[in-house]
Amino acid sequence: MRATVGVFDSGVGGLSVAEALHRLAPSLEIRYLADTAYFPYGDRTVAEIADRAVLMVGRLIDQGANVVVVACNTATSAALERLREAFPSVPIVGMEPPVKPAVEHSVSRRVLVLATAGTVSGARLARLTETHRGDAEVFTVPMPGLADLVEAGQIEGPRVEGVLHAAMDAPLASGVDQVALGCTHYGFLRPLLRRMLPEQVELVDAAEPVARRALHLIAEAGLVIDAEAAEREVLCYATGDAAAFEAAVERLRAAGAALPPTRVSRPVA
């Protein structure tokens, strides 16, 4: 059976994971579902996010996905266990802030996690931090509005820099040497963050490890990716205005974001 990976997020952020999947396996069939009608998830209740996650994953499976990536830290925190119970025959990969590798690589034993308010307040990040921090100090900083700026195509400029400075300056002054990105939208800020951060501070992003995990599950399940086939576009759907989603993708592309080739199909109600 041919592998088809379904990827979902509240908006464009999960395309950072789709880009990693496409880069690693250009002929892989990828279907991307953006729940733009409910963006941003960070302002929603846990119950509402979990219900949406079940609905979105169900739609991806109905469209032929046989592996699913929840490319959203907030949705993973709210719904991963419920999703695995609801769809036991389909491997589901979640997205978590990369606390463990950040702590493991930290020399100063000080780590900064940037995430949405929903992820910062969720039980999953609290468990991750408690499990992996050891003797390290982990600063978890909510970033209200930052995903909205990325969604609007703002990955450069004084407004975004101001938000990042306000969040990072104090932890960096305390000796943080690892910055973990706890939202897929923030992956598009990597070039800006790299310029803003001191040289000795490492950025840790989970997009590529999650993509590699999905490819491992594809192989484990015996699903086929035809390596000789032509490069595929990522087929995208949005629950909100499809034209607005396509415009958001093009704004990011124009701003220099690393994106896979995409084709936006009819909207999903």
Instruction: State residue 119's pLDDT score.
Output: 87
Per the residue annotation, which of 3, 67, 72, 249 is the catalytic one?
72
Instruction: State residue 225's pLDDT score.
Output: 94
Q: Where in the chain is the domain with CATH 3.40.50.1860?
A: 4-95+207-264, 99-204
Helices 46-62/73-86 angle, 10° precision: 60
pLDDT(117) > 90: no
- For domain 4-95+207-264, the question of CATH label 3.40.50.1860 is answered with yes
Top CATH class of 99-204 equals: alpha beta
Mean model confidence pLDDT for the chain? 94
- Dump pLDDT digits (tens) for 59-85: 999 999 999 999 999 999 999 999 999
Per the residue annotation, which of 60, 112, 183, 223 is the catalytic one?
183
Residue 163 neighbours by CB distance under 10 Å: 18
Angle at CA 16, nearest 5°, toward 31 and 161? 145
Averaged pLDDT for residues 119-124: 86
Active site residue 72: yes
pLDDT(269) > 60: no
Sign of CA dihedral 76, 30, 17, 224: positive
Active site residue 183: yes
